[in-house]
Amino acid sequence: MQGYIKDHRKELLSDIWAMPPLYHRVWQWLKYHVNHNDNEIPMNDGTRLHIKKGQHLTSVRKIARGVGYYEKGLWEEPNPKTIDRILKWMVKNNMIIVENGKDGRQYTLVTILNWESYQMEEAPKRQEKEIPKEKPAKKQKQEKYPEGSPYHNMATYFHGQVSRVAKEAGVSHLLANSDMQKWADEFRKLIENNKVDKHLAKEVMDWVVKDPFWSKNVLSAKKFKDQFAKLAIAMNKSKAPFDTPVQQADPRDKEIEFSKWMANGGDPDAFDWSS
């Protein structure tokens, strides 16, 4: 048997609740067995009996068996006369109607009065299993600096340069998780915010990876941007020619030169003593 019925708490205040327990047991049995949909049953005389919602075709003996119970391991079943007396009490209290067939023996049709009004009203809505909504696919995050863009190109170029330095120094793991988007953003800040010329930035990139000191200390775009001023100064200083001391003229050089002049028969008055 499937399905369910609705019991009201107000039944605790009803007359049947004040009667012996078998009365309420019979009442519950009837509520459990009445039809929930209209139906037709073929009869022995070839006719069909229409059974409506809230009705049940049964017999006094069947009800007696239905409300039986075990007590101390023995099956106890009320007397059919007791069941008949209970049904009549229910009829008198306007709870049910009992119809009998021909000669009072063909069938017993029990109708629960006001079945629809108290059973269907406020009928509990069957909670449908909520189907979880499919989560919308996450939109792929659009890269701010796509491949081929100027700042992305600067990032990948410099990453390739410092990667060679890191490999030679045995610290390649420091660049394993480099984010080219972050590197590209550092170069954007360098060019747009710090107003550094791209050609100068490229020149410093090539120089810094060759410098013995800075090549070991600048292994990221952020460090390159933060130290750029120092790097550019150091680069320019490294390229400036060394100042050569001016050689002072020795006064004796002119005397030696004059002696040679005279030895060669030169005119003393014609010798050029200017430097």
> pLDDT for 151-189, tens place per residue?
999 999 999 999 998 888 888 888 889 999 999 999 999
Q: What are the chain's domains?
A: 9-119 (1.10.10.10), 150-239 (no CATH)
pLDDT of residue 2: 66
In tens, the pLDDT along 74-132 reads: 989 999 999 999 999 999 998 889 988 776 556 788 898 887 765 654 445 556 666 77
8 A C-beta contact, residue 245 and residue 232: no
pLDDT of residue 123: 47
Backbone angles phi and psi of 75, in degrees to 5: -75, 125
Length of the chain: 275
pLDDT of residue 241: 67
For the chain, percent of residues with pLDDT exceeding 70: 84
218 backbone φψ class: left, alpha, beta (φ>0; ψ -120 to 50): beta
Q: Could you give the CA distance from residue 15 to residue 11 in angstroms, rounded to a whole number?
A: 8
Q: Could you give the CA distance from residue 186 to residue 275 in angstroms, rounded to a whole number?
A: 59
Residue with the larger pLDDT of the pair 70 and 271: 70
The packing angle between helices 80-92 and 21-33, to 10°, is 80
Q: Could you give the CA distance from residue 128 to residue 131 in angstroms, rounded to a whole number?
A: 9
8 A C-beta contact, residue 63 and residue 77: no
Of 66-75, 209-218, 221-230, 264-273, the one with minimum mean pLDDT is 264-273
8 A C-beta contact, residue 39 and residue 51: yes
Q: Could you give the CA distance from residue 30 to residue 58 in angstroms, rounded to a whole number?
A: 10
8 A C-beta contact, residue 24 and residue 13: no
Neighbouring C-beta atoms of residue 181, cutoff 10 Å: 15
Q: Could you give the CA distance from residue 198 to residue 187 in angstroms, rounded to a whole number?
A: 9
What are the structure tokens assigned to 222, written together?
């952020």
8 A C-beta contact, residue 138 and residue 148: no
SS3 labels along the chain: CCCCCCCCHHHHHCCHHHCCHHHHHHHHHHHHHCCCCCEEEECCCCCEEEECCCEEEECHHHHHHHCCEEECCEEECCCHHHHHHHHHHHHHCCCEEEEECHHHCCCEEEEECCHHHHHCCCCCCCCCCCCCCCCCCCCCCCCCCCCCCHHHHHHHHHHHHHHHHHHHHCCHHHHCCCCHHHHHHHHHHHHHHCCCCHHHHHHHHHHHCCCCCHHHHCCCHHHHHHCHHHHHHHHHHHHCCCCCCCCCCCHHHHHHHHHHHHHCCCCHHHCCCCC
